[in-house]
Amino acid sequence: MDVHRELEFRGIGVSPGIASGPVLLLKADDHPLPEYAIPAEEVPREMIRLEAALIETRRQLHEIQQRVGEAMGGESAGIFEAHLHVVDDPSFVDEVYRDVREKRKNIEKALFEVSERYAQTLLQMDDDYLRERATDIRDVTRRILKNLMGGGFDLLAGLETPRVLAARDIAPSEMAAFDRRKILGVVTELGSPTSHTAIMARAMDLPAIVGLRDLCGRLADGDRVILDGVRGVLVLNPSPSREEDYGRIARSRSIIQKRLATLKEEEAVTLDGHAVVLSANIEMPADVEAVWARGARGVGLFRSEYLYLARAGEPSEERQYQAYAEVARRILPESVIIRTLDLGGDKLPASVKIPEESNPFLGWRAIRLCLARPEIFKTQLRALLRASAHNPNLRIMYPMVSSAGEVDQAGVLLEECKAELAAAGVAFNPDVDVGVMVEIPSAALTADLIAPKVKFFSIGTNDLVQYTLAVDRVNERVAHLYEPTHPAVLKLIRLTVEAGRRHGIWTGVCGEMAGNPILTPLLLGLGVDELSASPGAIPLVKDVIRHIRFSEALELAEAARGMPTGAEVLERCRALVRRAAPEILELAE
């Protein structure tokens, strides 16, 4: 076998750009975790050791957060809020102490086992973003363990020339500690577009690919590679002709990116004057900075789940209010749509006692759980109402609605919360808009019954596609069947939009389809009024909108109505974008 033969690997491109150079293979920590029994009299000493390690970890994280904030902005620094929550979480620390006392284990072993219990809970989630939070738990735990064991953190010490970093995974605190000048790009076996490793790579302007399974066993230190962070392609031992091709692509993309950056202040309006609301999806308050930086109009989806996962206990009304109010104030005068709790019973803190389910994806979760546990739901609703006093355009959105009856039940609880706040003299917007996510086929099919009860629809295409096609998109065996342009999915989108129009309400899309510029003309042609995407996708989507005519989008949607396969629809979409904004295909494919 020719060890120098050119090989190509495909993963998920999460940070755009092209890098070319030698590899540095980062090995996992090889220090064995100490495990031994301790006598009762040693328990206090173990607890003192942990407290000292927590104090040092907290100091290190604050230092990293400050350095990242100064160098990369609040969005990236905000990542470490979740890490600090772990260190400061009394429930987490108490659970470690309890294991030490009751099981008489050394503190390192007890800390690791408690951390893994938390991480495994997160890994079972069906949401990529929430699943990736397991990495945060493990990152903090690794740092605490190193402080307990006296380990170091400089993984690039002694590196003289810049390298492409390759690893099974790279923790965000490790990324933050790296010297940017020593890194050309990043590739990992694990991760997703919502992982903090991906977020840090984008903030550091490093080309990055994740999800390159079993890669590290094929690489060695010093191997030459080309990394394409747009297409998710890694080329090992590139030929001279491949090097030349990627050099040309890199120059072309650089020119395009510079032009897209000038669109920040421009409106999302088609050539024939059709305006589209282009907003952003965010995860935490610190992400608001990216909304403005990318030229979005407000927040189309603020996921509130991080508040329930950053700490072990259920978040208080005050803590939730502070987070919602911060976003509401910072996004003025634009709107912010805050989605109520979208977790299953198996993902909530241990303090919320709910039986396990064999199939939580189709079970007691989101609005179903909230209606069954009104004490949890009303705490969030009161916090949201209080935050609405800071921004008249704060809107509330219920997830996983399957029937009009659920909207009625939620409305009763919302009115109760309004009455409670009014009686207490607490300010709120009594006319706050309420909408629903359309992500279950039954909601789309009964949209005419739901529409009179709400002010807007927001189509969550990720779940709508999965539920409609019975496809788990993270299951490798069936992921190829996940097809957003499938005729059934397009029909459900069309039904939702048309029902909304009949009842005088607007319809948005907040799933991944909204951030795919190739599908932008199709969604406009289907009648969607608002697109809400990740901040990084905003310039690409806006550019396509500004290069097409609304009449072309209508023709595309009408043609799609008669196409029997999603592949045909996708190719027609691609052809329109290729004709109107060909440079976007350079960045989107």
Which CATH number is 182's domain given? 3.50.30.10
Does residue 266 lie in a domain region?
no
Residue 178 lies in a domain: yes
Give yes or no: residues 504 and 410 share one domain: yes
Tally of domains within the chain: 3
Residue 72 lies in a domain: yes
Whether residue 288 is found in the same domain as residue 432: yes
* The pLDDT of residue 589 is above 90: no
End of a domain among 117, 149, 181? 149
Both 449 and 541 in one domain: the answer is: yes
Say if residue 4's pLDDT is above 80: no
Joined tokens for residue 65: 């957060």
433 located within any domain:
yes
**140 and 177 together in one domain:** no
**What span, in angstroms and rounded, lies between the C-alpha atoms of 383 and 68?**
30
Residue 182 confidence (pLDDT): 87
Q: Any bridge partners for residue 269, and if so which? A: 275
Confidence of residue 76 (pLDDT cuts 50, 70, 90): low
> Element (H or E) spanning 505, and its range?
none
Q: Is 361 among the domain residues?
A: yes
- Provide the annotated active-site residues: 196, 510
pLDDT per residue over 455-512, tens digit each?
Answer: 999 999 989 999 999 987 656 577 778 899 999 999 999 999 999 999 999 999 998 8
Q: At what angle do helices 43-72 and 133-149 cross, to 10 degrees?
A: 120
Full residue range of the structural domain in which residue 229 is found: 7-24+162-259
Tens of pLDDT, residues 79-92: 666 677 777 777 78
Q: Which of 259, 291, 322 is the last residue of a domain?
A: 259
One domain for residues 189 and 324: no
Diameter of the chain measured on Cα atoms: 79
Give the global pTM.
Answer: 0.72
- Residues 350-361 as b or e (16 or more Cβ within 10 Å = b): eebeeeeeeebe
Last residue of a domain, one of 149, 171, 191: 149
Average pLDDT over residues 357-381: 87
In this structure, are 550 and 573 located in the same domain?
Answer: yes
Q: Are residues 301 and 227 in the same domain?
A: no
Q: Are residues 426 and 355 in the same domain?
A: yes
Calculate mean pLDDT across residues 349-356: 57
In a domain, 31, yes or no: no
Residue 79 and residue 102 share a domain: yes
Q: What does the alpha-carbon distance between residue 146 and residue 371 come to, in Å, rounded to a whole number?
A: 44
Strand order in the sheet with 233-236: 7-10, 233-236, 224-228, 18-25, 163-167, 183-188, 208-210, 12-15
Question: Does residue 265 belong to any structural domain of this protein?
Answer: no
Question: What mean pLDDT comes out for the span 50-57?
Answer: 87
Tell me, yes or no, whether 350 and 493 share the same domain: yes
pLDDT band of 346, cuts 50, 70, 90: very low
Q: Report the pLDDT averaged over residues 32-52.
A: 87
- 323 and 414 in a single domain? The answer is yes
What integer best gives the mean pLDDT of the chain? 86
Tokens of 43: 């328990």
In this structure, what CATH number is given to the domain that contains residue 134? Answer: 1.10.274.10
Contact 574, 495 (CB under 8 A): no
> pLDDT for 247-297, tens place per residue?
888 888 788 878 888 898 999 999 999 999 999 998 778 788 889 988 999
Domain annotation covers residue 156? no
User: Based on the domain organization, do 485 and 391 belong to the same domain?
Assistant: yes
DSSP letters, 79-121, are HHHHHHHHHH-HHHHHHHHHHHHHH-B-HHHHHHHHHHHHHHH
